[in-house]
């Protein structure tokens, strides 16, 4: 499950990184706590060259009432025990809520990091999970849909993050799932309207754990209205060591959460 994530990049950074434009009608604000129900930037397959704001938590178009499906299991009803070694079929293609979006309504979800907790404690024991070597922003694999409110005729565009089995990092956190983070060279494949479905589902795999790390933070992040840099202040050590850089002026352990700027500084860090 991935129910909270971070995106603090400015519009020009997203434009350069993803080759898109941010329309003047959109105001992007940094967020340290993107929670279900909030609107966040996405890049969809039908508008692949611009940023749009969709609601986090997908409501399928055919539902009579609004709902918030924040995640979509790549395995669908398969792999009920969440075996991290599972390599079987991708049942997402047959699930009623996801079978149409996975075929024709896919999106990239820009992020700097995500928040995860153990399966039992959840956000009572949260961790910031990030990519090493200051790789941010990156993109989750997502799906989207458009729901029409039958009472007001309002159109609600919304999205869900696709999840897969746990990798080394999320296993250390004792969580059974991980969001699908796309490699940069696969992002345009995910938005392709011509790539075969079988090729698309092959992208739904865990991101390499050796390229990620995590550190604990305070459970204040549980409050969906809380949103400030202090939320990601480290409450302990990273779960895996990273290279230490020494200088005559300071000693700094690199990686997100390593200093007073909590990793979102201008110095390019070095990871293992």
Comparing CA positions, the residue from 200, 163, 159 lying closest to residue 51 is: 159
| CA-to-CA separations, 150 to 53, 101, 105, 145, 167, in angstroms, rounded | 22, 21, 22, 16, 41
Coil vs helix vs strand at 129:
strand
Residue 111's contacts (CB-CB under 8 Å, 6 or more residues apart) are: 5, 6, 7, 34, 136, 137, 138, 139, 140
Torsions phi, psi for 247 (to 5 deg): -140, 175
Residues serving a catalytic function are 2, 116
d(CA 31, CA 103): 30
The answer to whether 262 touches 233, Cβ cutoff 8 Å, is yes
| Pairing of β 71-73 and β 127-131 | unpaired
Q: Pick the closest to residue 121 from 181, 174, 70 (CA basis).
A: 174
Element (H or E) spanning 158, and its range?
Answer: strand 155-165
Inter-CA distances, 125 with 6, 85, 104, 114, Å: 17, 25, 37, 14
| Cis bond before residue 162 (omega within 30° of 0) | no
Cβ neighbours around 225 below 10 Å, total: 7
């Amino acid at each position: 499950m991935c129910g909270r994530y971070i995106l603090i990049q400015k519009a020009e950074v997203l434009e350069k990184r993803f080759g898109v434009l941010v329309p003047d009608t959109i105001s992007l604000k940094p967020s340290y706590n993107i929670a279900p129900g909030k609107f966040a930037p996405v890049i969809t397959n039908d508008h692949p060259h611009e940023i749009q704001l969709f609601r986090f938590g997908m409501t399928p178009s055919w539902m009579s009432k609004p709902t918030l499906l924040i995640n979509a299991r790549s395995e669908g009803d398969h792999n009920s025990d969440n075996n991290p070694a599972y390599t079987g079929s991708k049942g997402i293609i047959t699930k009623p809520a996801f079978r149409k979006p996975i075929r024709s309504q896919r999106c990239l979800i820009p992020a700097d990091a995500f928040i995860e907790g153990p399966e039992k404690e959840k956000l009572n024991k949260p961790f910031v999970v990030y990519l090493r070597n200051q790789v941010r922003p990156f993109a989750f694999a997502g799906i989207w849909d458009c729901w029409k409110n039958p009472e007001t005729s309002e159109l609600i565009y919304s999205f869900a993050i696709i999840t897969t089995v746990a990798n080394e990092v999320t296993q250390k956190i004792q969580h059974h799932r991980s969001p699908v983070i796309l490699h940069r060279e696969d992002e345009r494949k995910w938005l392709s309207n011509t790539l075969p479905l079988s090729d698309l589902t092959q992208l739904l795999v865990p991101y390499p754990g050796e390229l990620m790390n995590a550190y604990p933070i305070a459970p204040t992040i549980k409050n969906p209205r809380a949103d400030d840099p202090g939320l990601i202040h480290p409450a302990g050590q990273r779960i895996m060591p990273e290279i230490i850089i020494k200088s005559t002026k300071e000693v700094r352990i690199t990686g997100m959460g390593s200093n007073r700027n909590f990793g979102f500084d201008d110095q390019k860090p070095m990871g293992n």
